[in-house]
Structure 1
Amino acid sequence: MTDTTRRAVMLGAGGAGMAVVLTACSGYGDTSATDGGAAAPATTGGGADAGAAATGFAKTADIPEGGGKIFKDEKLVVTQPKAGEFKCFTSVCTHQGCDVDAVDGGTINCPCHGSKFNIADGSVANGPASQPLAEKPIKVNGDSISLA
Structure 2
Amino acid sequence: MSAESTLSRRLLLTSTTAATGGVCALALAGCAPSGTSGSSSATSPLAIPTTGTPTRVGKLADVPVGTTATGTAGSQNIVIFRASETEVVAYTDICTHAGCQIAPSGTNFKCPCHGSVFKGADGTVVTGPAKKALPRFAAAIDGDWITVSV
Say yes or no: does 1:57 pair with 2:62.
Answer: no
Secondary structure class of the residue paired with 2:61: helix
Structure with the bigger percentage of helix = 1
Unaligned stretches of 5+ in structure 2? Answer: 1-50
Letter in 2 for 1:139: A
Contact 1:102 1:110 in 2 (8 A): no
In the other structure, the counterpart of 1:69 is: 69
Structure 1 or 2: larger strand share? 2
**When the two structures are superposed, what TM-score results if normalisation uses the length of structure 1?**
0.58
Which position in structure 1 is the counterpart of 2:130? Answer: 129
Percent same amino acid at aligned positions? 33
| 2:64 partner amino acid | P
The normalised TM-score by structure 2 is 0.57
Structure 1 residue 131, shift from structure 2 partner: 0.3
After superposing on structure 2, the runs of 4+ consecutive aligned residues of structure 1 that deviate more than 6 Å are none
How far off is 1:125 after superposition?
Answer: 0.6
Deviates more, 1:89-98 or 1:67-76: 67-76
Query: What displacement does 1:145 show?
Result: 1.5
Q: Is the 8 A contact 2:79 2:103 kept in 1?
A: no
**Cα deviation, residue 71, structure 1:** 2.1
Q: How many residues align?
A: 97
Whether 1:113 and 2:114 are equivalent positions in the alignment is yes
Question: Which runs of 5 or more residues in structure 1 are unaligned?
Answer: 1-43
Equivalent residue runs for 1:9-48 within 5 Å: none
Question: CA–CA distance in 2 between the matches of 1:114 and 1:74?
Answer: 23
Q: Does structure 1 conserve the Cα–Cα contact (< 8 Å) formed by 2:79 and 2:91?
A: yes
Instruction: Identify the range of structure 1 (71-80 vs 137-146) with the bigger mean alpha-carbon deviation.
Output: 71-80
Q: Which has the higher contact order (CA 8 A, sep 6+)?
A: 2
